[in-house]
Chain A
Amino acid sequence: MVLRNAVHNDLYADSVALMRVAARLAGAPGLDAVSLVMATPANREVLADAGLLGEEGRSAAPNDLIVAVRGTPDAVEHALAEAVTALRDTGGPADGPQESAPPPRSLAGAPADADLALISTPGAYAAAEARKALRRGLHAFVFSDHVPLDDEVELKQEAARHGLLVMGPDCGTAVIGGVPLGFANAVRHGTIGLTGASGTGLQQVSTLLHAMGAGVSHIIGTGSRDVSEAVGGLTTRAALDALAADPATDSVVLVSKPPAPRVAEQLLARVGDLGKPAVVCFLGWDPAGVPVPPGVTLAPTLYEAARAAAEQALGHPVPAEPVPSLPAPPPARRLLRALYTGGTFAHEADLLLGPALGPLDRSAGRPGAPPALPPRHLVLDLGDDAFTAGRPHPMIDPAVRAAWLRAALADPAAAVIVLDLVIGHGAAPDPAAAVAEILADAGPDRPAVLCFVVGTDEDPQRAGDQRRVLREAGAEVVGSSTQAALACARLLGGVQAAGLPAPRPATIGGPA
């Protein structure tokens, strides 16, 4: 072990630079201690206290630099040489890429002209983020679910006070001025404004409008609970107000599962005041005794909602698509296995099939357990919380439905399997391929597979391509959720094509 001091006359370096060099050198093997200091009296004293002041250093002047090194002779020699090199190494930007400005860590750091917060944090934080957005004057699209109902009500009341909208919580879709949020399809720009508490319902209606040649101005999702008694349709009303005031919107479609009765009546009345023709589809709502305002058409199904709205917008009749007939299954195959990813489709199927088939099984097995098919007709919403806990939504990850599809294909009692394929922004990149792969593995003796694709050819997955892949895999493909349910009703319940419920235009007569 030797101690050496090297003195560099009139070499000034900042103390921090010196400490950095010392820290770099000190890591070498064989070194016990390294110190680089300007030789001020105070620093020489520090060196002396540390036992690092050698003879050379003792006589150094305050403007000199002392390099003090203790260690094995070789290591000390090396370190003294290195120290000079290290001090002359000025570093500089060439050492690495310049760091770019980091994104802000909270809403507070967002640009002042931001006006909509798209929130998909874990549900426990979503209400807080939405509240912060509202307080900063931003509208909120809250994709997150598991937000307490009280929070939803408070948020929507606060939003109403500030002239803001809270879409959600649990809002799946919106298209604002052509900008898609959450799950959304690339639909033609047009004059029909959509709103409602059903994400997949809005997607179905908007893509059907696209297919019928009509176009959409905006789609405003409200979140699944908006039309409940507790929330009272706060966002739906705000959305209707916004669409009424919007010069780009000529007519309005309101879609949801049945609202609470009081809310349904209020919303219906509000739709009648819009000053614009409107179609209302409260799936399964019984309007008995409620007057339907003039200019409002009540549509019983998603397909009819789209058709009525397209006729309003296009100004000419849109012929109803015939309900396809499926070949009769063998006698042992008599049961329905409808495996939906969209909750609204399950609800619509329940509504349309119930009268023909009697009560339907809406849940099967236990969450997380292997698929178990009941000896009854089955209509499942695989997007339900019970199936998605800890897993992605089946619209994002087709694997969630794969096990059920395999089980249904192997089920000797199954007559027909119904599958929805929702495409568009946010959805799985190729859901048809996932279905085709499983169908390829099934033997020739399998139930019929009836599919509908919710999307457009403008979507990244291209609806036409998806339908072709499904047909090539041996599936039947129909145009909508409504058609699929009605085809099943006819196949299994003997219901004729005329079973398609008719729309109820107010002009023809709402209930007296």
Chain B
Amino acid sequence: MTPPARPLLAAPPHVVNIGVEEFAAAPRAAGATVTRIDWRPPAAGDTRLAAKLARLTARPDIEAANATALRRVLDVQPLWTDVRPAGELIPELAGERLLLHAGPPVAWERMCGPMRAAVVGAALLEGWAATEDEALRLAGSGAVRFAPCHHHDAVGPMAGIVSASMPLMVVEDRASGLRAYSNLNEGQGRCLRYGALGDDVMRRLRWMGERLGPALRAALRSLPEPVNLRTVTAQALQMGDECHSRNTAASALLTRELGPALARHADLGGIEALDFLRDNNYWFLNFSMAASKLALMAGHGVEHSTLVTAFARNGVDVGIRVSGLGDAWFTAPAAPVDGLYFAGYGPDDANPDIGDSAITETHGLGGFALAAAPAIVGFVGGTPERARRISADMATITLGRHRDYRLSGLDFAGSPVGIDVRKVVDTGLEPVITTGIAHREPGIGQIGAGLTHAPLSCFTGALDAFEE
């Protein structure tokens, strides 16, 4: 992979200055081009890892593996083909008291407030308990098993709790035969995924299972073709979405796609679905997540690849998975979210970073596509210039760019796709994530939105685990 060397004396050198800045002056004064590196110790100052990183630089087996993994990611065509109850798609959910949750594995005892609330809601929904107290006792007794959504090819935003009767969307890639799942978005305001509980929340969840799911299924299956989510995403990026925290355009596009067919299935709940979709600007988020999960599943499991295939948060820990490192999670404590809050709430109320939705960032969306959605940067008082800067920075930690996802703010360059563990450790640039903020106490819900990052220590941990 090393390019052929230019002989040292062939021409005055183009110098890259790493370290003492003053050393740039003399070569520059002599007319040489000098590029300054804004250097800091790699691997957060761990010299052993810094040396390992250097040995893993430009290694032919890794470069080849990453090229393969990235090609597989980019080749995926995510088709929305079905909506069915989770228990039919993931049989374990029907066979036992199993709940899926967001992020890396976490036991009930360590779960954060919003996730516990969502567990209670799911237990009520499934009829495992009649009251919230009863549900809490049940969960605490060990009678409910928990597993990450990611362990079942699924993703769920925020708490990410999935139970057997919840409808899941099916997104599949015909060429690879892979399928990924996500639950359906409950909308804004008081939602189970943010840890809100109450009759309103439960009523909507039941309606989603009984009416929304079947209506969508029937409408979708009446279309001549499944819905290609890649096309929707590409269009939405041109309309100001980054398809993680901003899904306004994509949700509208998807609703338009399905509108007539839903209306034709009024008996199943099609009109109610349209009423629901009209108000739901987050509707597309779960589709964006499932399509991203599908793409990264295709890139997972390539030996020697340093491609990050998942970043997920359970509200206590966050973790990444890496293509060449099997099913292991490399975790760190969940980071706080820097954002804007709804009236009456502030950072002290916020739960740390939570949800599987950061799968979108591993697919070049969200923080990586900020240059398409400058309004999102307003969450941290930024400017469109800062949005462009973040996307440009993210391009320095990725393996390539998306062919279809174009960023208007970067002169329609492809969105940066495929986080390389090595590049994160080398630059110290942590992947930027756009996200919602949940209240840390159970039962309250969303209180804001903002930006956060995937902590460097996940990436140094993964690099450490890499076999040389």
Contacts and interface: CB of A to CB of B under 8 A. Distances in A.
Nearest to B379: A16
Contacts of B378: 14, 16-17, 19-20
B15 interface: yes
| Chain B contact patch, size range | 35 or more
Nearest to B35: A110
A386 interface: no
Contacts of A26: 343
A242 B340 CA distance: 60
Contact of A245 (B5, B7, B29, B381): B7
Contact of A425 (B16, B25, B342, B381): B25
A461 to B, nearest CB: 13
Contacts of A178: 12, 30-31
Contacts of B40: 105
Given A17-B375, A104-B396, A220 B26 contact: no
Contacts of A300: none
B2 A105 contact: no
Contact of B16 (A33, A116, A163): A116
Most buried by A among B15, B392, B427: B15
A135 interface: yes
A45 B189 CA distance: 8
Interface in A240-255: 242-243, 245-246, 248-249
A245 B7 CA distance: 10
Contacts of A16: 340, 375-376, 378-379, 449
Nearest to A133: B16
Nearest to B59: A135
A131 B11 contact: no
A99 interface: yes
A470 interface: no
B55 A131 contact: yes
B188 interface: yes
Contact of A99 (B4, B5, B20, B386): B386
A26 to B, nearest CB: 8
A367 to B, nearest CB: 23
Contacts of A43: 188-189
A109 interface: yes
On chain A, which size bracket covers the interface?
35 or more
Interface string B1-34: 1111111110111111111101111110111111
Interface stretch (B45-53, B129-137, B172-180, B325-333): B45-53
Given A42-B188, A105-B37, A426-B22, A20 B340 contact: yes
B388 to A, nearest CB: 9
Given A132-B54, A133-B16, A139-B5, A179 B30 contact: yes
B375 A46 contact: no
B341 A23 contact: yes
Nearest to B389: A99
A49 interface: yes
Contacts of A107: 16, 18, 37, 426
A126 to B, nearest CB: 8
B9 A108 contact: no
A106 B37 contact: yes
Contacts of B55: 131
Interface in B21-80: 22-27, 29-42, 47, 50-51, 53-55, 57-58
A52 interface: yes
A162 B5 CA distance: 7
Contacts of A511: none
Contact of A135 (B2, B6, B20): B2
A99 B8 contact: no
A353 to B, nearest CB: 34
A177 B426 CA distance: 31
A426 B51 CA distance: 28
Interface string B391-402: 011001000000
A116 B381 CA distance: 40
A261 interface: no
A66 to B, nearest CB: 11
A390 B372 CA distance: 48
A181 B15 contact: yes
A155 to B, nearest CB: 10
Nearest to A98: B385
A388 interface: no
Interface in A97-135: 98-99, 101-111, 113-122, 124-125, 127-129, 131-135
B54 A131 contact: yes
Interface string A17-55: 101101100100000011100001111011101111000
Interface string A85-99: 000000101010011
Interface in A384-404: none
Given A40-B279, A181-B26, A106 B385 contact: no
B187 interface: yes
Contacts of B23: 118, 120, 143, 181-182, 426
22 contacts: A16-B376, A19-B449, A50-B342, A50-B344, A104-B35, A104-B38, A108-B426, A114-B14, A114-B15, A114-B35, A117-B18, A118-B18, A125-B41, A128-B53, A131-B54, A135-B1, A135-B58, A163-B4, A163-B5, A176-B13, A181-B26, A218-B9
Given A128-B50, A177-B13, 20 more contacts: A19-B378, A19-B448, A20-B381, A35-B342, A35-B343, A52-B344, A103-B37, A107-B37, A115-B13, A120-B20, A121-B41, A125-B50, A127-B54, A132-B426, A137-B3, A151-B51, A177-B9, A246-B9, A248-B9, A425-B26
8 A-B pairs closest in CB distance:
A35-B343, A120-B19, A425-B26, A135-B58, A116-B13, A128-B54, A131-B54, A177-B12
